[in-house]
Amino acid sequence: MKRALPMVVLLCVAVALAMAAPLDGKWIAKMERKSNKGQVETVEFTLDLKVQGNQLTGTVTGGSGRRPASMTIENGKIEDNRFSFTTVQRSRKGEQKFIWEGTISGDELRGTRTPEGRRRGAEFTAKRAS
């Protein structure tokens, strides 16, 4: 019995760690969109996600342009396998708010990034960074 108790405790800790925050960590997301010249381009983002309970925080870095933008995740939520958050991209033209929504399945995220006030967004897929 004395030997079984440490094994049970260790098993419980391992299960809790495995269930905790499957979104935590770095993800590489790719999305196709039309450029200002009408050409389709692939845009890459790095999502650095942290989960605390049902709250999602972190940063999104990347995008098109010479210098990658870094945006703080705001209003992040996670429920079951669904997540959502907003980011604000700042440029010389002003600010643009984006709504990110999607699902997680194993080591893959799928979702959309929609500019605030628009009906349609761009689809993205993300893989966990190794």
Handedness of CA 46, 22, 97, 123 (dihedral sign): positive
- Going along the chain from its start, the domains and CATH numbers come out as 21-128 (2.40.128.120)
| Range 100-110 average pLDDT | 95
The pLDDT, as a whole number, for residue 110 is: 97
Tell whether the model's pLDDT for residue 20 goes beyond 50: no
User: pTM of this prediction?
Assistant: 0.77
| Range 116-129 average pLDDT | 93
Flag the least confident range among 11-20, 78-87, 98-107: 11-20
Q: What is the pLDDT of residues 51-98, one digit of tens each?
A: 999 999 999 998 766 667 899 999 999 999 999 999 998 888 889 999
Q: Are 115 and 34 in contact (CB under 8 A)?
A: no
98 C-beta neighbours (distance < 10 Å), count: 19
Helix (H) or strand (E) holding 58: strand 55-62
